[in-house]
A and B are shown apart, each in its own frame.
Chain A
Amino acid sequence: MKINLKVWRQSNNLKGQFEEHYIENVSEDMSFFEMLDMLNNTLIEQNHEPIAFDHDCREGICGTCGVVINGKAHGPLKGVTTCQLHMRSFEDGDTLVVEPWRAPSFSIIKDLVVDRTAFDRIMESGGYVSVKTGGAPDANAIPIFKEDADQAFDSATCIGCGACVAACKNSSAMLFVGAKINQYAQLPQGQVEHPSRVRNMVTQMDEEGFGSCTNTGACEAECPKEISVENIIKLNKEYLKHSLGK
């Protein structure tokens, strides 16, 4: 396969621009990143700076990777992270425009690498159950309906990749926050602090400068873990419920 790559290059707070590369000998079995690896190897050999991109597990689970390909977060496939994207999903001769996540809360570190620590700070504001090591009762002491456990799990599969923010025209982080709130909302553990968790996480989300949700549903469509927008609806409800009178 031959691929025409238009890729975003940017370093050290300078303004970025696109750079074009024409790549031959791309095999269909390669993953998208293996194609970039190959390109980088050539770039280094030719004394050019390789393209920086974030990745680690390459299994679609760590949430490190993520680029926008032709306007689509994580590329054209549904429910798939960039690292799990294979070149067979493209046609011979395709032009791919590759860009980093763009959102004011995610500053660009270099080329395709962005800073997502805002997510950690949101989590820090309440994304936990306050239980001390060693103080836990027997795991089967509180039965949990399978349905509730399953629903909590569905929300908990969020990998924190930030595609929802990247895909949203408002750069809203509601899907990410909603997923976390909902995981805990479904479970009996940590209910005591649930009201303050909801309020604090939303406040932190606003402080980090994420936009507000206008229910366009772009996040759900681009989320590699197919987290449902229902999580946002439930977040709204929990927030309303636990803010009235505060």
Chain B
Amino acid sequence: MRFLFSSIGKKIQIAISGIFLCIFLLFHLGNNVALFFGSDTFNQMVAVLESIKPIIRVMEFSLLAILLLHISNAIYLTRQNKEKMLSKYQGGLLNDASSVNSRTMVLTGTAILAFLIFHLSYIWYSYQIHEHSDHGDTYYSILTQNKFGFLGHRLTAILYIVSIALIGSHLKHGFESALKTFGILKKSKLGFIYNLSILFWLIIPLGFIIIILCIQFNII
């Protein structure tokens, strides 16, 4: 397993962890879609999840571990590469060919991390202390209340939408890059997965954004 620590190995680690995080996003969106079926359905679903708390906890911790793996490797490689960059060129490094999202992975990644902390500190945290809070609140109403940090609040909504867009940008390069790291060619038998990436960088983020917009405009 020593190969995991080579430059390619490190990227494999980032890629695998990234894909796991993507899959989590898929679940996350799936859960959120329940919002469209009314507050009862949503509350019930969260309650079900609550009832299997130990399993969820394990999953949450694994997710955290994966996230840390993703971030630490990314930081490591970036720092290594930063050293390689020197000042590069006076005439600027002009590469029309490399896409903006590919060059801004570190930026978008950092922004996403900040957003994640924000998101967790409000919504996840509120859910954890839910049992101790007012009985009038349901999971549903906590989420949609018009208070900073929650989705009913205009500024929060904007913050969320921007951040989710950044996630989209991060995933667009991230997902394709991961496929490349696994050695899958666009024109190979597995090449169709490249089309799948659209699900992750476009459809999922769009889904989240629609939900937020719907909350904002009181559609749900």
Contact = CB atoms under 8 A, between A and B. Distances in A.
Interface in B167-194: 173, 176-177, 180-185
Interface stretch (B30-38, B82-90, B113-121, B201-209): B82-90
A2 B96 CA distance: 27
Given A97-B90, A203-B6, A212-B10, A233 B183 contact: yes
A202 B7 contact: yes
B94 A104 contact: no
Interface stretch (B56-64, B97-105, B211-219): B97-105
A102 B86 contact: yes
Nearest to B7: A212
How many B residues touch the partner, as a band? Answer: 35 or more
A230 B80 contact: no
B94 A209 contact: no
B8 interface: yes
A204 B9 CA distance: 14
A233 B89 CA distance: 27
Interface residues of A, number: 50
A71 B7 contact: no
A210 interface: yes
Nearest to B77: A212
Interface string A85-119: 00000000000010100111000000000000000
Interface of B: 2-3, 6-12, 77, 80-81, 83-99, 102-103, 105, 173, 176-177, 180-185
Interface of A: 6, 18, 68-72, 97, 99, 102-104, 167, 169-172, 199, 202-203, 205-206, 209-218, 220-222, 229-230, 232-241, 243-244, 246
